[in-house]
Amino acid sequence: MAESMGLDRLSEFAAIRAAAEKIAGESERLAALCIEIQQIPAPTGAEEKRADWVQARFRQLGLADIDQDAALNVYARIPGRQPTPALLVSAHTDTVFPAATDLTVRVDPESRRIAGPSIGDNSAGLAGLMALAEVLAGLEQPPVDIWLVANSNEEGLGDLKGIRAAVDRLEDSLGAVLVLEGMGLGRIVHAGLGVRRYRIHASAPGGHSWGDFGSASAIHSLAALVTDITRLNVPQQPRTSYNIGKFKGGTSVNTIAQHASLELDLRSVAPETLAQLVEQVQHLVQRHQRHHTKAQSGVAFSVETIGDRPAGQIPESHPLMQAASAVLAQLGIPEQMDVRISSTDANIPLSRGIPSVCIGLTEGGDAHRLSEWIDPRPLAKGIQQLLYLTWWTAAWLTTGG
């Protein structure tokens, strides 16, 4: 494996090979670990229980520098033969499911698939981080310090707050970051998709639907703006998108609405195209506002930024990307070339010039749906991938990578 990655590090890999081979026989235990994690509710911004569970487990393993920060990130350090540049391996703890969600798991006796909310995103990813922690706790010192972080606030309006705090804290010592996602085995994300999110609010005089007919409505005004946003032409190359995922407002069916709001998500692979799209939307809001001001309708729009995920990438020729590909090839895992650009926790290190990839650990589907599922059988292989890539990256960092 080392040769195929252009590094003479066979002795380093010998250290981890036995552990990787042992993992191959532990599918049942790994599946149970995914379910154990999945059973702990962890909505974005309320990850306390899952964070505490991780912290207790890090303690059992006797890891160094265990800590939980104000963002509910949990940290542990595996001391290396040299402290820096350190490697950070992270998996997010939060899920898109509200606290009251029924977390009952169903196991299909035939396909062995495990279904349940957040089982793949990101219980399986976090299970991978825990399996890595167990292996590293029992091995010789790695080439450099390895920080393990179970981070909060990856999903939705969490806006990558957890990984931002972790990278802020460790930035001076970091040489590379590996981000773990439970699903998408074979994917290597090396480019962070830029995302901007806005809440646009409209207020209007409103009134009684009959008695005040003619008075301006916040819903009608905001809907007119929506129509213009959905008429925007965005390029397919570089891939760019918009979505209004939420629209709400009003008081009752017979009331002219005084308030309405929407949530808008704008994305592009290219930072310049994203900036242009943001500008187009701002112009539309201004145009609609001018129209209402002129007509003295009493309608006022306001725009609030609720998400900003910066773009960033390493080239496909980057040694970390090459190593991640080589590890997949060596393990016989087909590489999924179609999803190399995505919005993940890796956006943050990538946007700050720290080499980073996000890798998947097993096969699964229906992410963010109640029917979310994983196939636990490829998980052992996914974790082998993680072990090799972690060790390779730690060794690479000593070469000045």
For the bound state, the minimum distance from the C-beta of residue 344 to Zn ion, rounded and expressed in Å, comes to 7
Q: Which is nearer to Zn ion, 121 or 159 (CB)?
A: 121
Residue 122 or 221: which CB sits closer to Zn ion?
A: 122
Tokens representing 367?
């992410």
**Residue number closest to Zn ion, CB atom:** 121
Instruction: Give least dist CB 162 to Zn ion, A.
Output: 11
The residues in 257-276 that bind Zn ion, with binding defined as CB under 5 A, are none
Give the chain's largest Cα–Cα span. Answer: 83
Closest approach of Zn ion to the CB of residue 92, in Å: 6
Q: How far is the CB of 211 from Zn ion (least distance, A)?
A: 50
Closer to Zn ion by Cβ: residue 263 or 372: 372
Residue 180 vs 257, nearer CB to Zn ion:
180
Site string for Zn ion, 6-45 (x = CB under 5 A): ----------------------------------------
Site map 67..106 versus Zn ion, x via CB under 5 A: ----------------------------------------
As given in the structure block, the two tokens for residue 132 are 């890595």
Residue 50: CB minimum distance to Zn ion, A: 13
| Residue 58 C-beta: closest distance to Zn ion, Å | 21
| Nearer to Zn ion among residue 124 and residue 394 (C-beta) | 124
Binding mask of the shown chain, residues 105 to 134, with x at each position contacting Zn ion by CB under 5 A: ----------------xx------------
CB of 182 to Zn ion, least distance (A): 7
Choose between 122 and 313: whose C-beta lies nearer to Zn ion. 122
Q: At closest approach, how far in Å is the CB of 61 from Zn ion?
A: 24
Site mask for Zn ion (CB under 5 A), range 330-359, x = bound: ------------------------------
Chain residues binding Zn ion by CB under 5 A are 121-122
